[in-house]
Amino acid sequence: MSKTETVMDLIYIKQLRCCLNAVGCWPRKETGQKPIKYLSVYSVILVLFAIFMIIDGFWYIKNNIQNMDIFEIGHTYMTTFMSCSAGYRLTLPFQKKYKRMTETFIKQFHLLHFKDKSDYSMKIYKKIDKLSRYITMYFNFLPWLAVLGFQLQPLYYNYVNGLYSSNRPENTTFKHTVYYVLPFDYETNVYGYICIYLFNLYASCVSAVCFAYVDLYMLLLIFNILGHLKILLHNLQQFPKPQESDSVVDTIMFSNEEMENIFELLKESINHHRIIMDFVSLTSEALSALLCIYYGFYQIILFMVLLLCSQLDINAIVNYSIVALFFFQELILTSMIFELLGTTSDKVKAAVYELPWECMDTKNRKIVLFFLKKAQEPIELKALGILPVGVNTMAAIIKNSISYFLMLRATV
């Protein structure tokens, strides 16, 4: 491998770490970069801001719930839960398992380290590399569309109602994306409005980056796991068969020379499977709580967004439909790729079972049996180590969100 051909030099990895660095979520030391002190301080500040927004959001609801309609309550709960989810993602760089996972991915597990092992490995690497670049380009565009849609509606409302004119109507207040309990007036005072608008704009950008690029990072991890499984599956499916002989027995056995080759191939495949399982286990441990919060958040947020869109107000529909599109597509895309991981794992089990074990000697048969037992362990990520994630979980979340929405809408 040439000096310049490292994982950190890949264009999509550069874009990923640049955006995660912007919110303090990229572990620099573990990936061979020089730690920057101000980034560590910045990460702590962002976590404190998230805690402030969470506490203040619930405080605002408690103080104003009597004066809010159900849509205003829904909007405030939505932004508060978004702060909760984004806030947890901001704590990732402080978690040892997350840092160890990133270090292992960059330095050991990425397909770039395996591409020269065979022609098929190179083929899979190029496919995954191309897919990773395209999905990164897509995610580079997506969060800013969500920020635009989220911030546009209050701006339009304030403009249409003359709040930006020199002669503002009496008894009117500025509309914001997020409301707070603060010691100064930001709903009627222009300077207070500007301060909170800029703060909300920045908070929206940080949240969008947290959601989009942490999800993108998870997808890149899964793509590489899938690539490894594809290579392992191909090696198992291309396992050599015994050469034809003049023997009259029904089962043609491998020759002694072939047995030695079979032993090496089995050892290589088992070692590759162990590498995959170790990394999946490490990833599952590092992202276990995140996946639980991830799916719990979507259960709440999709229900809230559907409720807010049901106002049938054109401004609300334009605003929240973009937010809904952002979250729906991330949920569907991520869940489908997680499901693909499980189906590919099942193919590996079948391929191990179909190895020509009957043509081997006792030693190699025992190795195949050992491999078969190891292959029975499912290769999947679980929320809190309990709930498998995939299309079934996604379908349940969407179904429940629609059910809760219809139940609440019927009572409004």
Looking at residue 383, the DSSP 8-state letter turns out to be E
Would you state the pLDDT for residue 394?
Answer: 83
Q: How far is CA 382 from the centre of its chain?
A: 13
Q: Residue 76: its pLDDT value, please?
A: 86
Contacts of 319 (CB under 8 A, 6+ apart): 149, 150, 152, 153
pLDDT of residue 385: 74
Q: In percent, how much of the chain has pLDDT > 90? A: 34
* Residue 19 domain-assigned (yes or no): yes
pLDDT at position 90: 93
- The per-residue pLDDT for 315 is 65
Establish if 312 belongs to a structural domain: yes
pLDDT tens track for 266-319: 999 999 999 999 999 999 889 888 888 888 888 887 777 777 777 666 666 666
Predicted local confidence at residue 28, as pLDDT: 86
Residue 21, classed as helix, strand or coil, is: helix
The average pLDDT across 152-161 equals 85
Q: Do the beta carbons of residue 97 and residue 109 sit within 8 Å?
A: no
The type of residue at 281 is S
In DSSP notation, 145-197 reads: HHHHHHHHHHHHHHHHTTTTSSSPPTT-----SS----SS--SS-HHHHHHHH
Write out the two tokens for 172. Answer: 């009117």
Q: How large a percentage of the chain has pLDDT more than 70?
A: 93
Q: What is the pLDDT of residues 49-59, one digit of tens each?
A: 999 999 999 99
- Mean pLDDT value across residues 125-134: 95
2 within some domain: no
1 part of a folded domain = no
Of 150-164, 169-183, 346-360, 383-397, the one with minimum mean pLDDT is: 383-397
The conformational region for residue 162 under phi > 0 = left, psi -120 to 50 = alpha, else beta, is left
Residue 11 located in a structural domain = yes
Average pLDDT over residues 90-114: 93
Residue 69 lies in a domain: yes
Mean pLDDT computed over every residue of the chain: 85
The Cα–Cα gap between 217 and 397 comes to 22
User: What is the reported pLDDT for 194?
Assistant: 92
pLDDT given for residue 152 in this prediction: 82
Residue 226 scores a pLDDT above 60: yes
- Report yes or no: 243 and 284 within 8 Å, Cβ to Cβ: no
Going by pLDDT thresholds of 50, 70 and 90, the confidence category of residue 4 is low
Q: Is the pLDDT of residue 331 over 90?
A: no
Q: Residue 63 to residues 57, 58, 172, 404: CA-CA distances in angstroms?
A: 10, 9, 20, 26
Q: What is the pLDDT of residue 2?
A: 45
Integer angstrom CA distances of residue 259 from 226, 246, 256, 262, 280: 30, 18, 5, 5, 31
- Segment 368-402, tens digit of pLDDT: 899 999 888 888 888 777 777 888 888 888 888 77
Of 224-238, 265-279, 346-360, 395-409, the least confident: 395-409
Count of other CB atoms within 10 angstroms of residue 369 = 12
How many separate domains does the chain show?
1
Output the pLDDT for position 251. 65
Q: How far apart are the first and last CA of the chain?
A: 64
pLDDT at 336: 86
pLDDT at 248 over 50: no
Which of 143-147, 180-184, 263-267 shows the lowest mean pLDDT across its residues?
Answer: 143-147
Residue span of the structural domain in which 160 resides: 7-241+250-411
pTM exceeds 0.95, yes or no: no
| Euclidean distance between CA atoms 7 and 364, whole angstroms | 36
